[in-house]
Amino acid sequence: MIKWERGEPVWESDRAVWKQIADELRGRIEAGTYPPRKAIPSLTALVQEFGVARNTIRKVISRLSEEGLLRTEMGVGTFVVPRDDR
């Protein structure tokens, strides 16, 4: 879980930022904060929330997609794959 200070995430120095964000989003998916079949926030929104570059968020989405947790529809959004569909 990411620690926050003054509205800014505090990154652990010994793990890649993208991995920390991936864990965070994975947690939100498991917790239902991002519900099944619903779109997660847009790339831009996640970039703003975590204060990182586009490519970093794209790497996270890419990884979670490989894990089967997310499915992207070009030009539409990125959606949480229901557990039954994985």
User: Does 76 participate in binding DNA (rule CB under 7 A)?
Assistant: yes
Among 24, 26, 28, 72, binds DNA (CB under 7 A): 72
Among 45, 48, 82, 83, binds DNA (CB under 7 A): 45
Among 7, 75, 84, 86, binds DNA (CB under 7 A): 75
Residue whose tokens read 């099944």? 36
Burial string for 50-81 (b: 16+ CB within 10 Å, else e) reads bebeeebbebbbebbeeeebbeeeeeeebbbb
Chain residues that interact with DNA, rule: CB under 7 A: 11, 16-19, 39-40, 42-45, 51-56, 58-59, 61, 72-78
